[in-house]
Structure 1
Amino acid sequence: MRTRSQRQRRRRILQAAAALASRGGVEAMQMRTVAERAGVALGTLYRYFPSKMDLVVAVVSEEIDLLEASIERRPPGAATPAGRAVDVLMRATRGLMREPELADALIRSLVMSEVEAPFGDRMAGLLLRVAGGGLMVENASEEQFGLASSLSGVWVQELLEMLHGRRTYDQIQRRIELAASRLLADF
């Protein structure tokens, strides 16, 4: 269990890393620079995050935590499972696009990562909960989890297309709506 000062130190590190990535991508997240900006020794940073990719994964996890908190405060109101899933994914898109450099850096790093990142599974679990009316991963069938994972994968790909200027927000929304209506039809 972490002490309050350890949690605060970890939070400062994550904020420093996210701020650097939002200005210059993952390349700007040099461990020494993150440590300096967070006001911690480089050794302390490595105790919390043994590698740069571990740090990236932690920043992504924080973003998902924020999305989950937003959904708890204001649950999707759509009547259909697909509508609720689209609401969540488009909310996540808007949140990420507030800092496009950070979004691009995080998504690219996760796609290319050799570090196990729970991003896909967490997004799939979130989609299961909202689309399935509280359905938890442990209670979902393999097919249900697979469909939610597939929708999450479609979203990541569409997000990359938007970050590269090949899709607009409206185009992504239409594609996500189409994928969700097909993938979640039997939920």
Structure 2
Amino acid sequence: MPRIAEARPSAEPSSQEQKARQRRILRAAAELAAERGLDRVQMHDVAKVAGVAIATLYRYFPSKTHLFTAVMADQVERLDELARPPRAGQDPVDAVCELLLRSSRTLLSRPLLASAMMQSNVQANAATVTEAIRIDAMMQGAVMRMLGLADPTARDVRLVSLLIECWYGMLSSALNGRLSMADVEEEIRLASRLLLAARSNASPRTALDG
């Protein structure tokens, strides 16, 4: 289990050199977690692989919870870049399903890393691990964009949040061996159709079918 996050936020890099250093840290952490799993990753090993001083590592990431929540934020940011409005004639819910399915396959292809990120994100205190809030915001924004919800209602936000929470639960169950990839895909499609049928811009027919 990761050490409980210290009650202080991570330092934010400002210069290009500092940003490059932070990227090296995130890459090193991801590589080590993919090979060893969260419990066997030591902060001094991350610093060594990244080529930074241990004090520098702790300045940016006060704990493993901070570090691997940031690794997850980096992964989700790539997912967010893939989120586009649906193609002409494409059902927006199908577009969301495709995004979540593609992301699930990518995450589950490296199960030890996925477990490290998921465990850390669950333990992250939003008051001190600001990347946890950014993950939620990016995930919500990606789904809203694909649904064409430029001005979402409070209900839309709740529905999308529920879908994302369901998705996290499916990934956790897959990582624990309780769901197969086929099960994950089926449940993603079912949860998406049930929850998103009630969104504010759903057609009456779609809402009725859902």
Determine if the TM-score, normalized by the shorter chain, exceeds 0.5: yes
Paired position in structure 2 for 1:98 = 109
Tell me if the contact between 2:34 and 2:113 (Cα under 8 Å) persists in the aligned partners. Answer: yes
Residues 1:80 and 2:91 aligned together: yes
Percentage identity across paired residues of the two chains = 36
In the superposition, relative to structure 1, how do residues 76 and 104 fare at CA in structure 2: closer, same or farther (>3 Å)? farther
1:3 shift after superposition: 2.1
Among candidates 24, 34, 50, match of residue 46 of structure 2? 34
TM-score by length of 2: 0.79
Paired position in structure 1 for 2:21 = 9
Matches of 2:86 and 2:111, distance apart in 1: 24
Paired position in structure 2 for 1:130 = 146
1:17 shift after superposition: 0.7
Larger Rg: 2
Matches of 1:173 and 1:76, distance apart in 2: 19
Matches of 1:177 and 1:62, distance apart in 2: 25
Please, which moves more after superposition, 143-152 or 1-10? 1-10
Alignment coverage as a number of residue pairs: 181
TM-score by length of 1: 0.88
Paired position in structure 2 for 1:112 = 123
Residues 1:47 and 2:63 aligned together: no
Matches of 2:29 and 2:55, distance apart in 1: 16
Among candidates 61, 70, 74, match of residue 73 of structure 2? 61
What 5-or-longer segments of structure 2 have no aligned partner? 1-12, 203-210
Residues 1:140 and 2:156 aligned together: no
Q: Comparing both structures, which one devotes a greater share of its residues to helix? A: 1
Paired position in structure 2 for 1:89 = 100
1:100 shift after superposition: 1.1
| Per-residue CA distance 1:152-185 (angstroms, 9 max, x = gap) | 0111111111111221112111111111111111
Matches of 1:169 and 1:54, distance apart in 2: 29
Tell me if the contact between 1:125 and 1:145 (Cα under 8 Å) persists in the aligned partners. Answer: no
Q: Residue type matched to 1:144 in 2?
A: D
SS at match of 1:50: coil
